[in-house]
């Protein structure tokens, strides 16, 4: 038997593909006010960190979203502006959901998820630790 040939669709390929999809969703989120943006760039960074240092570096040095990604990557910091944006975005999305008059269980489920997400967001630091 011959040695096994490298797989075309290995773990690195799938991480890279997922990273590209997440970047695309992040850009869509920049255009749509009710779709999150930052979480997709964080997920893309996680994928690229494991599959493509070149693309991870591109994200970390990007002029618009590089700094918040660096803060998250290094210290899991969510700036105050980001916390407000997340809270207001979730509130807006929930108000639109209320307007569409869904079933009660949908309202309760979405509210529960949004409260859990907001607790998580508020539990993260708003600034990096001060180095002495």
Determine contact, residues 52/27, Cβ cutoff 8 Å.
no
Mean pLDDT calculated for residue range 105-110: 94
pLDDT at position 9, please? 66
Segment 51-104, tens digit of pLDDT: 888 999 999 999 988 888 898 888 999 889 889 988 988 898 899 999 999 999
Average model confidence (pLDDT) across the chain: 87
Does 33 score more than 90 pLDDT?
no
pLDDT of residue 132: 64
| Integer CA distances (angstroms), 53 to 1, 107, 111, in order | 35, 41, 38
Is the confidence at residue 36, as pLDDT, over 80?
no
Residue 8 pLDDT greater than 90, yes or no: no
**Percent of the chain as helix, strand, coil, to the nearest 5:** 70, 0, 30
pLDDT band at 3 (very low <50, low <70, confident <90, very high): low
Torsion of CA 42, 76, 48, 17, to 10 degrees: -30
């Amino acid at each position: 038997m011959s040695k096994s040939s490298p797989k075309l669709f290995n773990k690195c390929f799938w991480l890279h593909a997922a990273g590209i999809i997440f970047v695309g969703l992040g850009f869509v989120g920049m255009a749509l006010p009710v779709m999150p943006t930052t979480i997709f760039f964080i997920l893309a960074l996680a994928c690229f960190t494991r599959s493509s240092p070149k693309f991870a570096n591109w994200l970390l040095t990007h002029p618009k979203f590089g700094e918040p990604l660096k803060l998250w990557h290094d210290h899991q910091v969510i700036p105050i502006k980001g916390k407000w944006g997340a809270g207001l975005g979730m509130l807006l999305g929930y108000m639109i959901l209320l307007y569409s008059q869904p079933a009660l269980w949908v309202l309760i489920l979405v509210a529960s998820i949004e409260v859990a997400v907001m607790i998580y967001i508020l539990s993260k630091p708003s600034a990096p630790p001060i180095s002495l």
